[in-house]
Chain A
Amino acid sequence: MLDRREFVKVAATLSTAFGISNLPEPVRAALKKIDPATIPKLIYLQGQSCTGCSISLLQAESPSPLTMITDYSQLSFHADLSATSGKQSLELIEKFISGNAGDYILAVEGAIPEDMPEACVIGERTFASYLEEAAHTMTAAVAIGSCACDGGIPAAEGNQTGAVGLQDFYSKRNIEKIVVNIRGCSVHPDWVWHTIVQLVKIGLPQLTEEGSPNLFYSRTIHETCPRYHDFQQEIFAKKLGDRGCLFKLGCLGPQTKADCSTRWWNGGCTWCIDANAPCIGCASPTFARKKDFSFYRINKKG
């Protein structure tokens, strides 16, 4: 995880990359206008992923997804949106990864099959080999979603590919690169896009011990849950569909750090607990990891 010294180092690197390093701090913070020439280019690669995080990114309200990939960043490559395809797209990716197309931020969705590199290939080259090469040329990496951060479901107990998250992948190779971890299965679009806004306008955000932006991940879901009052009054849902605190049905809000309880989902219209669905801890570094740690306490005989 990042210590203070690394933090400052990275902040400096990122500021240089975005061309705002010469400005005094208050000016930088107050910077309103974004220079199109210095917005970060994103190379978005998918590993052992389900594309759910990409789809979630399209659910952003304000700024809109289109604004995010044109005004605040440039999405130089994304397998789901890019017009380019095949060999042409491989040339584009390889030009960036080899350091021949300027500065870029690597965005990664999905886990990396550490014990079975053939389990994820792009253009006959392993996904792992792209990540190894990119480590030497990228400004920083953003791990998008629980798979990219910690391995997620591909890394769940009993998996056959030895799936890991990006930070682990780099640590095992003694590669020191900054990885900003945006957890969630899927991520909330704001968590990613607003981190990018922060990177563009101010610089590296404050990160938690787990390397996630403080802004979204500093408190547990339980602490700010609208049903916290029910919890205090011991008004508990006893069966699925009941209102009240969902703790006794297995809600993982008390150990999951994310701001779903105040941000809500899909344009703020709803979220899991408002639909009486216990939190399954999808933003937790240990999401779905153990077979015996089931999502619910509903199957009493299990």
Chain B
Amino acid sequence: MKIDLGPVTRLEGHLNVKTTINNNIIEDAQCVGEMFRGFEVILRGRDPLDAQQITQRICGVCPYAHAIASSYAQENAYNLDVTSNGRILHNLIQGANHLYDYLLHFYQLSALDFVDITAILQYGGKDPDLVKVREWVKAELASGKTYPAAPFLPRLSGKYITDAEVNIGALKHYIESMEIQKKANRASAIFGGKFPHATAIFPGGCSQTPTIDHIASYQALIHEVRNFIHQKYIPDLVAVAQTFPEYWDIGQSKGGFMSYGLLPLGPQSDSKRLIAPGILFGNNVSPVQLSAITEDVKYSKYSSASGLAVKDGELVPEPKKDTAYSWVKAPRYNGQMVEVGPAARVLVDYHQGNNSRITELVNHFAGIAGITPDKLNSVLGRHLSRAICAAVIADFVLDECERIDPDKPGGTEIEIPESGEGYGTTEASRGALLHYIRVKNHKVEKYECVVPTTWNCSPRDDRGNEGALESALIGTQVENPEEQIESVRIVHSFDPCLACAVH
């Protein structure tokens, strides 16, 4: 039986997943990216300094990651001397953006897969937010509308949390998180100018000069976010994990893991990072070689050559291509499939023993859940990895504030050479993000992006090997093949961003 899961909601953009089911087991899965814009071609011939603005518009959920990757690439292309302040402000902006993104993902994008929204009808307490929601849902259900209580109903059939207290708590935090994510974004906007799409980020730092009142506001906002992470987000996640322990064993991807590392600890482009880069196959971590990355397009809707290295990338759309089923390209590392994202970030760091706090948190939660660290490769593992990153990043950015030199420039003067090229790598909340810029005649000659969801929602490569999410879906048992809430939970655990993936 063939079932399409698209459009899969509560993720960024246009994703379909075509599944083949036999005896309630997913025999085949194809990830289909359904939207194309062509950013890399649009960027050609433009002023290079347009790039960190234009590329933010690849994704309005994680624009800052693109601004940072583009800034790093330009810094390398221009041989820019970055100041300590410049790097710290980049880190503060990007760190805060990660925090908002994790909360948005857990509550708005994922919670409704687990939490029973109808539990609100039995709520007998006095919390004004919850009373309001209860009355609203009641009135909606009595209204005779075709779709009452949208967008929270209808929903897929399946097993939801039955413990009333857990449901009510999570719903309350769903509402609260909508306020808290704003605080994280306000913090990043202090230095970025606004969110989404920061205008104050440039190669080398920010146009904003950090002052003590900026720093105090930033810290106050992040403190609130940090409290929410520890007091609400992590306990809610643990409650979900306790209710659905089978999801430690569901949704394993079947390749390696790659992370570019996150948040440089110094201004130089080769500075050590808070979360270490690396590529992990089995238990072996090795340094990432960008030259090992190629993009296949046999199953992607392009007529340009397949298997090109990043700096040689081409983009000639062929929407009616016979063999193709997705607008997403298929990036591979030495021809091998890898998963990127929070689990990759945490596993790659953990296996190197780089960040002691990550090691400690992985061991702590693995102990609580009774799992081994390799189970981070699962639906719950990806959720947990986000929470671990959130805890580590929140502490780091608060400390990082203390290293700012107040009232000194937040950036540096930029001179764009006649020609040059540079790579920029960072971790978006969704995983490994690479930008490449080549400048000629002071203009962009070539711009290439290989984005987290390009890896995770990749279609088959030229040899027919599936992408990370496809591999995680295949073999899964589903109770109701028509709706497949199990598959939707797997998809959501990757937090796909299709606007990023295709760009």
Contacts and interface: CB of A to CB of B under 8 A. Distances in A.
B207 A277 contact: yes
A64 B128 CA distance: 15
Interface string B38-64: 110110111111100110011111010
Contacts of B175: 66
A31 interface: no
B186 A52 contact: no
B373 interface: no
B207 A240 contact: yes
A200 interface: no
A102 B146 contact: yes
Interface stretch (A117-125, A207-215, A228-236): A117-125
A255 to B, nearest CB: 16
Given A85-B9, A122-B14, A153 B154 contact: no
Interface string A142-171: 000000000011101111110100000000
Interface in B185-228: 185-186, 189-200, 202, 206-209, 217
A26 interface: no
Given A118-B320, A265-B189, A294 B42 contact: no
Interface residues of A, number: 93
A64 B178 contact: yes
B34 A120 contact: yes
A220 interface: no
A272 B154 CA distance: 40
Contact of B483 (A88, A116, A278): A88
B146 A50 contact: no
Interface string A59-87: 10100111001100011111111111111
Interface stretch (B287-295, B333-341, B375-383, B408-416): B408-416
Interface of A: 36-37, 41, 46-56, 58-59, 61, 64-66, 69-70, 74-90, 92, 95, 100-102, 111, 113, 116, 118-124, 152-154, 156-161, 163, 185-186, 239-241, 265-267, 269-272, 274-280, 282, 288, 291, 294-296, 298-299, 301-302
15 contacts: A36-B139, A51-B499, A52-B196, A56-B196, A66-B178, A80-B11, A83-B154, A102-B145, A119-B327, A120-B36, A240-B202, A265-B189, A267-B182, A275-B199, A277-B208
Interface of B: 4-14, 16, 34-39, 41-42, 44-50, 53-54, 57-61, 63, 104, 108-109, 112, 117, 136, 139, 143, 145-147, 150-156, 175, 178-179, 181-182, 185-186, 189-200, 202, 206-209, 217, 301, 315, 317, 319-320, 327, 409-411, 413-414, 416, 418, 442-443, 482-484, 488, 499
Given A64-B179, A272-B200, A301-B418, 12 more contacts: A82-B10, A83-B154, A90-B7, A120-B36, A124-B4, A124-B16, A153-B54, A158-B42, A267-B182, A275-B190, A299-B48, A302-B47
